[in-house]
Amino acid sequence: MGAPRVVLASASPRRRELLAAAGLAFSIEPADVDETLSGFDDPRDAALELAERKARAVAERRRGEDAFVIGSDTIVAVPATGGWRLLGKAADEREEREMLDCLSGTRHAVLTGVCIVRAADLTPFRDAELTWVRLRELSTAEIDAYVASGEWRDKAGGYAIQETADRFVVGLEEGGFDNVVGLPVGLTLALLRRAGWVGP
């Protein structure tokens, strides 16, 4: 019998690179699920629920197999009166400008939910990691240039810390850089082991 398969339920090149850098052997099978944030008030709840939706959608196709499916979702959240303003992926340039205006000069939360669904019995194992990010004040010209670059597309919160937006970042607090990129690798490996995966 071969080793159990690890399946990444994401098409994200950033998550793929992070897992590969950790030395993990895995296949990719993107999940097609609703990622809208309406109905969620708490960023942790949103990140965990969306991560589980992704992992479960792929695990359902592999029900009964000796496979472990990784789902992950990253939410950017800005403290607001009475709670949080949750930011997913900007749909267009107008929404991207609004996000950058909202994030400019803030200390905001980046939460990544990770869920491992064991395909053999569809049991979920999930947790989330939090990183606080400080962004400096952004000028209108900087926002215009970043919007024009297109780098923000398909990025939670409308920016990519691992690309040119790193120049906007003053610093990180608590969690790690990989969490802001989109996959906390240490947490992911710990959840895989909790689910029964045996690997490097």
Which residues are catalytically annotated?
73
Q: Region 49-75: what's the mean pLDDT?
A: 95
Q: Quick check: 1 pLDDT over 80?
A: no
Query: What is the per-residue pLDDT for 4?
Result: 64
**How many whole angstroms separate alpha carbon 102 and alpha carbon 49?**
24
> How high is the pLDDT of residue 102?
93
Domains of the chain, by residue range, sit at 5-194
* 55-59, 143-147, 156-160, 182-186: segment of lowest average pLDDT: 156-160
What's the mean per-residue pLDDT of the chain?
91
pLDDT at 200: 58
CB atoms within 10 A of CB 80: 10
Q: How many angstroms separate the CA atoms of 152 and 144, rounded?
A: 12
Tell me if residue 84 falls in helix, strand or coil: strand
- The mean per-residue pLDDT over the stretch 168-179 comes to 90
CATH fold, domain 5-194, is: Maf protein (3.90.950)
Predicted TM-score (pTM) above 0.75 = yes
